Structure 1
Amino acid sequence: MTTIYLVAHPEVVIDPTIPVPDWQLSERGWSRIKSFCARPELSTVSDVFTSSERKATDCAEALKAERRLEFKIEARLGENDRSSTGYVEPPRFWEIVARFFDSPHESVLGWERAIDAQTRIRESVADCVASREGEGDICIFSHGGVGTLLLCDLMGEPISRKRGQPISGGGCYFAFEAEKRTLIHGWQDIASS
């Protein structure tokens, strides 16, 4: 049985002057992801994939430093495309996110439709599994929004924000069995032991 760990990056340095895909992990985010990378269950990981966004590649770099595992960048693991609006300050951002999940077949303010992002993340993860080179488990660094979409798909549920990460700021992961796509556990804090 191959386990896939889908990890949503933790806290980032929010800078409205920098494009969102180029944001990096904050000091707290680095501390939390390093704690995750040292977890004993990750000793069975042989293949690592990451979104091309900086906050996700930072996570892959942390795992590489801890486990000496190279990683592959898979752009389709990226967060839902929000480039039409760029950075939106809360609370307005969370209002748009709610509409994104509540109306999955509609583009909200030009954002990628949730249904399309769900299809993209599902197919990307399947391609990661098919292209792996090792025989161990797989770690995928991605984002909370598309992670939630994948979790809904794995659970056979309609798209819903209720399956979102339980921690403000992100930094959660879930695990599922690769071949049968059976959920092992839902979102958990990356820094919990």
Structure 2
Amino acid sequence: MRSIYFISHPDVVISPLVPITHWPLSERGRARMAAALSQPWVPGISAVYCSTEQKAIDGAQILAEHRGLAPTQVAALGENDRSSTGYLPLAEFETVADAFFAQPGQSVRGWETAAHAQARIVAAVASIAEADTSAGALGIVSHGAVGTLLYCHLTGQPISRRWDQPANGGGNYFTVQWGPQPQALSWWLPIDGVAPAP
């Protein structure tokens, strides 16, 4: 058995003029990721993985450098593919995201389906856990929607936005106990220790 900390990247610089996958962490996001370094589980991390999206890379570098490590990028850890629409204004995005979770087997406006994204993230985490040869816990810096899909899988819950991370700008984590029957030990918790607003 080993521990995996699945971390959603914190706050980003949102720009309609920049591809979503290239959005970096904002100053607040970087500050929150730096605050995460005081979490009691950080000293036990022996390897850091992230998606190939800039916001996840930025977060992973902060965590990895603190541990004297270099993050490993894994494309399959990416967020659900939303390239068909690109940037959407917040209200429109929330509506499409609701449909994404509510209709997991259907593509909403060309987005990757939730069912496909779930299978992808579960397989990616399993592959990392099985291949990693370091001795400690693993830190995976990824994204909120696929993290929620992973959580649903690990807890035996049907895909539902009910289990999505709190609306606090991202920057949340849950702990996975990996073994023959992997399980999530908690729902999303804030990386900086600040409880999200109700």
Q: TM-score, normalised by structure 2?
A: 0.95
Q: CA deviation at 1:187?
A: 0.3
Q: Does 1:187 align with 2:188?
A: yes
Q: 2:45, 2:67 within 8 Å by CA — same for their partners in 1?
A: no
- Counterpart of 1:137? 137
DSSP-derived class of the 2:52 partner: coil
Whole-angstrom CA distance in 2 between matches of 1:187 and 1:112: 23
- Counterpart of 2:29? 29
In structure 2, stretches of 5+ residues that fail to align are none
Q: 1:5, 1:140 within 8 Å by CA — same for their partners in 2?
A: yes
What amino acid is aligned across from residue 181 of structure 1 in structure 2?
Answer: P
Whole-angstrom CA distance in 1 between matches of 2:183 and 2:111: 30
Show the 5 A alignment for 1:99-118.
Answer: 99-118=99-118
DSSP-derived class of the 1:186 partner: coil
What amino acid is aligned across from residue 65 of structure 2 in structure 1?
Answer: A
Whole-angstrom CA distance in 1 between matches of 2:160 and 2:84: 22
Render the CA deviation track for 1:39-69: whole Å, top value 9, x for unaligned: 2311111111100000000011101221112
Number of residue pairs matched?
Answer: 193
Show the 5 A alignment for 1:156-167.
Answer: 156-167=156-167
Question: Percent same amino acid at aligned positions?
Answer: 43
Q: CA deviation at 1:169?
A: 1.3
In structure 1, stretches of 5+ residues that fail to align are none
- Counterpart of 1:78? 78
Render the CA deviation track for 1:102-152: whole Å, top value 9, x for unaligned: 000000000000000000000000011112120111110000000000001
DSSP-derived class of the 2:7 partner: strand
Show the 5 A alignment for 1:34-183.
Answer: 34-179=34-179, 180-183=181-184
Whole-angstrom CA distance in 2 between matches of 1:50 and 1:37: 16
Backbone CA RMSD of aligned residues: 1.0
Q: CA deviation at 1:176?
A: 1.1
Q: Which moved more, 1:181-190 or 1:137-146?
A: 181-190
What amino acid is aligned across from residue 162 of structure 2 in structure 1?
Answer: K
Q: Which moved more, 1:125-134 or 1:115-124?
A: 125-134
Q: 1:167, 1:189 within 8 Å by CA — same for their partners in 2?
A: no
After TM superposition, what 4+ stretches of structure 1 lie above 3 angstroms from structure 2? Answer: none
Whole-angstrom CA distance in 1 between matches of 2:51 and 2:20: 13
Q: CA deviation at 1:19?
A: 0.3
Q: CA deviation at 1:190?
A: 0.4
What amino acid is aligned across from residue 189 of structure 1 in structure 2?
Answer: P
Q: CA deviation at 1:27?
A: 0.6
Q: TM-score, normalised by structure 1?
A: 0.97
Whole-angstrom CA distance in 2 between matches of 1:92 and 1:162: 19
Whole-angstrom CA distance in 1 between matches of 2:27 and 2:68: 22
Whole-angstrom CA distance in 1 between matches of 2:94 and 2:167: 14
